[in-house]
Structure 1
Amino acid sequence: MKKILLLAGDFTEDYETMVPFQLLQTLGFQVDAICPDKKAGDMICTAIHDFEGEQTYSEKRGHNFMINKSFDEVNVEEYDGLYISGGRSPEYLRLDKRVVDIVCYFLNENKPIGAVCHGPQLLVATGLLKGRKLTAYPSVAPEITAAGGEFVDVEGDVAITDGNLVTSQSWAAHISIFKAFLSILGVKVKL
């Protein structure tokens, strides 16, 4: 059984957390959801972001999401891949050195990483994006470029793969990002 580490925090985007957590488990993965300063059984709250015609997304209070692995107990070497949810949590999680160290480990070890929406802010925080192609929610584009990465502007339902890294702009690309993430994990789904 492959093990995936899911990074999330308060006001992570609801779909971008719940869907990967549930889908990957449905496919037989062990998914450990972690958040700094939280232990197994603690809750984080999610936010629901939607595109309703304004200049940016709207935000509403989402569901409570239960963390199922204590942050301080994580041994990154046990995991086959990392999934970084979006929403507002990456904005403050990137300030936690322990979180950045986790992301650095997966980048340096060339292990599969999926990052959606604002999740690439954690990739930017590593300083390891020079020459990498990725996408994110468009407001993250200047950060990616400043970090030496190449922001790829794509339609909302498209994911970008660059080696061990798969990114998308939002939950609207779930189908694309999951197909690509499973591919870089070396998993073929037979139905």
Structure 2
Amino acid sequence: MAAKRILFLAGDYVEDYELMVPFQALAAVGHQCDVVAPEKAKGDQIRTAIHDFEGDQTYSEKRGHNFTLNASFADVDPASYDALLIPGGRAPEYIRLNPRVLEIVKHFADANKPIAAVCHGPQLLAAAGVLKGRKSSAYPACAPEVRLSGGEFVDVPIDGAYTDGNLVTAPAWPAHPAWIGQFLALLGTKITL
């Protein structure tokens, strides 16, 4: 199997684990992972946020790491990528306002390429209009957006993930084993022990 090229759409205050863990895990099994953010170029940094579940009514947020982008948003040709990954955090909320981001998301959906979105990542899917008639998990606070965009919200446990065709979604970073595992299956990546 040839390694897949995976595009990550991120921005400042993307969720730290939801960017770094899949980036490292997918690269570790041989995939090329390019992380871009609107208005930023290769070598620029984005700041991350760490969301945690500490018994409050919603997640808490702490400053995370800096992440150095390894590709330039202006140079993205979605046709040259095999799959799309959308981490959560606060970034999806505002990068969905960028028309080029929405065009990129639509390309992957229209081409039926594998798409992985976690936590607030489905906000981009909803804004791009690609959830109509689809089933999607998300952070529970994003359920209204999934429904308003014509999708069916799937309420899975915090450590669960859901696959609908070419789309795998999960509620938050505790789902990484299930979410990344299901994404690897969509990519056709087989890991043997």
Q: Which amino acid aligns with 2:136?
A: L
CA distance in 2: counterparts of 1:190 and 1:4, whole angstroms? 21
Matched, 1:107 2:105: no
- The aligned residue for residue 92 of structure 1 is 94
Partner SS for 1:32: strand
Alignment of 1:159-178 (within 5 A): 159-178=161-180
Q: TM-score, normalised by structure 2?
A: 0.98
**Deviation digits for residues 121-169 of structure 1 (CA, Å, limit 9, x no counterpart):** 0000111211100100000000110111000111111100000000000
- Distance in 2 (CA, whole Å) between partners of 1:12 and 1:183 is 25
| In structure 1, C-alpha distance between the alignment counterparts of 2:60 and 2:189, rounded to whole Å | 35
Deviation (angstroms), 1:175: 0.2
2:44 alignment partner, one of 42, 45, 48: 42
Match of 1:26 in 2: 28
What code does the residue aligned with 2:54 have? E
Q: Report the counterpart of residue 158 of structure 1 in structure 2.
A: 160
Partner of 1:57: 59
- The residue that corresponds to 1:79 in the other structure is 81
Match of 1:127 in 2: 129
CA apart distance, 1:58: 0.2
C-alpha separation between the residues in 2 aligned to 1:127 and 1:155?
Answer: 25
Give the gaps of 5 or more residues in structure 1.
none
Number of residue pairs the alignment of both structures matches: 191
CA distance in 1, matches of 2:125, 2:69: 22
User: 1 CA distance for matches of 2:168 and 2:4?
Assistant: 18
* Aligned mates of 1:75, 1:127 — CA distance in 2: 20
CA distance in 1, matches of 2:192, 2:130: 35
Q: CA deviation at 1:170?
A: 0.2
Task: State the distance in 1 between where 2:36 and 2:142 align.
Answer: 23
Distance 2:23 2:188 in 1: 18
1:8-19 to structure 2, matched below 5 A, reads 8-19=10-21
Shift of 1:91: 0.1
- Taking the aligned partners of 1:153 and 1:29, their CA distance within structure 2 comes to 30
Distance 1:61 1:129 in 2: 31
**How high is the sequence identity, in percent, across the aligned residues?**
61
Q: CA RMSD in A?
A: 0.6
